[in-house]
Structure 1
Amino acid sequence: MSELADREISALHDALDDEYQAWATYDQVIADFGEVMPFMNIRDAEARHIEALLVLFRHYGLAIPDNDWPGKVPRFASLLQACEAGVAAEVANAALYSR
């Protein structure tokens, strides 16, 4: 049984889903444009964020949802568009954690 309130569990799920989406987005950019910086480093950072959240899921005995984002994220026509989308996603990510 979890020691967390429903609101806290929901927040963990929202955070993990956001990190899954970010990882899949940066992974798609790398698939489309090759091993380009800064996307390699950012994808690695997203993987660390995911792992940190998974530690919490395990600690509290929560079922770990699958990452359903691969293949469902946008693709970009250029690295510039990918960078612009990445900035917007990181701003949204900060708002999620502020909430």
Structure 2
Amino acid sequence: MSHNKIGLRQISWSFWVVIMLCWTAFTHAQEAPFGALGSKANPPQSIEQAMNFAIQDEYLARAEYQEIIAHYGSVKPFTNILQAEEQHISRLVALYQQLKLPLPVDNAKDHVMLPSSIRDALSTGVTAEIDNIAMYDRFLTMPQINDAAYTEVKQLFIALRDASKKHLRAFEKGVAQYD
């Protein structure tokens, strides 16, 4: 009889360990929204929030392309677009400084998943640029964006969106080489 009690306690303990592991995984998955997908799931209510999502997404693109280049070598268009992402980040950082806003921490590497092939990486680039363009399009519909205080933010969002359209074409061309 005591053997059954120990067995039930062990099962009960194991059950709670499994529950806690699942809860940890669930709460980890529920972390703050990040980048373009985060802005879609949790639309920004202020220009500062939009800028935070924008720089997160630019950080994410840079981190993804750095990881792809580190793993697969200096492959175009990743090398070219990586340089553009650096410029995008620099422009956003300058705008943060101008507006005296706190710069978000760059933890994009925590969100990077290495694609299993160059073709998959190019396809990931297509998806990322589509999401990025859609993000900037959403930001450009925010009523606050037309406030004179945010003229430079609006201009930068337009420039970054238009650059993403060029990146999209480059990634689509790359994918087409594998079809």
TM-score, structure 2 as length reference: 0.51
Q: Aligned partners of 1:81, 1:87: CA distance in 2, in Å?
A: 10
**1:70 to partner: Cα distance:** 2.0
Report SS of the residue matched to 2:53.
helix
More helix by share: 2
Aligned runs of 1:39-78 on 2, under 5 Å? 39-78=78-117
How many Å separate the matches in 2 of 1:53 and 1:20? 11
The higher-RCO structure (CA 8 Å, 6+ apart) is 1
CA distance in 2, matches of 1:9, 1:66: 14
- Quick one: structure 1 residues 68 and 19, their matched pair in 2 at CA, closer, same or farther if it must change by over 3 Å? same
Relative to structure 1, is the Cα distance of residues 93 and 64 closer, same or farther in structure 2, using a 3 angstrom cutoff? same
1:1-99 equivalences in 2 (<5 Å): 7-99=46-138
Alpha-carbon distance in 1 for matches of 2:105, 2:55? 10
Residues paired across the two proteins, number: 94
1:35, distance to aligned residue in structure 2 (A): 1.1
Structure 1 segments, 4+ long, off by >6 Å, are none
Q: CA deviation at 1:84?
A: 0.2
Alpha carbon RMSD of aligned pairs, Å? 1.1
User: Which secondary structure does the structure 2 equivalent of 1:70 belong to?
Assistant: helix
Between the aligned partners of 1:63 and 1:47, the Cα distance in structure 2 is 19
Could you list the per-position Cα deviations for residues 20-51 of structure 1 after superposition, in whole angstroms to 9, with x for gaps in the alignment?
A: 11110111100110111110001111111111
Counterpart amino acid of 1:80? R
Q: Which runs of 5+ in 2 are unaligned?
A: 1-44, 139-179
Deviations 1:43-98 (A, max 9, x none): 11111111111111000111112210125301111100000000000000000000
What percentage of aligned pairs have identical amino acids? 37
